[in-house]
Amino acid sequence: MIAPSRTFGFEFAVDPSHAALPGHFPGNPIVPGVLLLDHVLSAVTAELKRPVSILKQVKFAAALLPGESAMVNCDACGDSLSFTVKTRRADVLVTLASGQAILAHGPTPLGGCGTSAGSGLT
């Protein structure tokens, strides 16, 4: 049975008083990439009831600033997940990060993706 992919989104912001910020970077703080990914992966796990087991690729294009709202869009299909993280600056949508991941096998499979290409893993 072929099931459609599951698309969902969420937003988050990192409080300017977060303990990770003073060292990244003094006088000009940015949210560390690992903290941004932690927010994404935690929300994906909560939404899908399946954790990410492998990060295949992550590209950071711009930094998230403390207190800035990050908008995350996800597309889950079978065991594959793709995501983008964006923010709005001066009415312009800026891509902060994007990536692909593999979801852990779990009790809630998402089914096929509408193609016969398979997972690409051999």
**pLDDT tens-place string over residues 14-61:** 999 999 998 888 888 999 999 999 999 999 999 999 999 999 999 999
Q: Is residue 53 part of a domain?
A: yes
The first and second tokens of residue 56, run together, are 């295949």
SS3 87: strand
Q: Is residue 58 part of a domain?
A: yes
Residue 122 included in any domain: no
CATH of the domain at 71: 3.10.129.10
pLDDT at position 54: 97
Task: Answer whether 14's CB lies under 8 Å from 66's CB.
Answer: yes
pLDDT for res 48: 94
Does residue 115 form part of some domain? no
Taking phi first (over 0 means left), then psi (-120 to 50 degrees means alpha), and beta for anything else, what does residue 50 get?
beta
In a domain, 112, yes or no: no
* Structural domain span for residue 56: 6-12+30-103
Can you give the pLDDT at residue 23?
A: 86
Parallel, antiparallel, or unpaired for β 92-103 and 52-60?
antiparallel
* 67 located within any domain: yes
Count how many domains the chain has. Answer: 1
21 found inside a domain: no
Place of tokens 């941004």: 36
The type of residue at 113 is C
